Amino acid sequence: MIFLGLKNLKTALMMKNKTYRITIAQGEAERLWELYSITKPDELCLEDLAFERGVLVTEGALEGMEACLIRNGNHGLIRVRKDIPEKGRKRFAIAHELGHWELHKDISQIFACTEKDFVAKYKGSLEEIEANYFAAALLMPTKFFEASMEDLPMSLETIDKLRAFFLNIFNGQSYLINGTQQNLFCHVLSGTRQDKVVARQS
Report the pLDDT value the prediction gives residue 176, as an integer from 0 to 100: 42
- Domain total in the chain: 1
Q: Which of 5-14, 15-24, 55-64 shows the lowest per-residue confidence on average (mean pLDDT)?
A: 5-14
Report the pLDDT value the prediction gives residue 29, as an integer from 0 to 100: 95
Determine the 3-state secondary structure of 6 from DSSP.
helix
Please report, rounded to a whole number, the percentage of residues in the chain having pLDDT higher than 90. 36
Report the pLDDT value the prediction gives residue 143, as an integer from 0 to 100: 76
The answer to pTM > 0.75 is no
138-185 per-position pLDDT tens digit: 988 877 776 666 777 767 677 676 767 676 555 433 334 444 333 434
Report the pLDDT value the prediction gives residue 180, as an integer from 0 to 100: 38
Strand order in the sheet with 196-201: 175-179, 184-188, 196-201
79-120 per-position pLDDT tens digit: 999 998 888 889 989 999 999 999 998 887 788 787 677 665
Q: Which of 14-18, 49-53, 86-90, 196-200 has the highest mean pLDDT?
A: 49-53
Pairing of strands 67-72, 175-179: unpaired
- Structural domain of residue 137, as residue ranges? 2-201
Per-residue three-class SS string for 90-156? HHHHHHHHHHHHHHCCCCCCEEEECHHHHHCCCCCCHHHHHHHHHHHHHHCCHHHHHHHHCCCCCCH
32-41 per-position pLDDT tens digit: 999 999 988 8
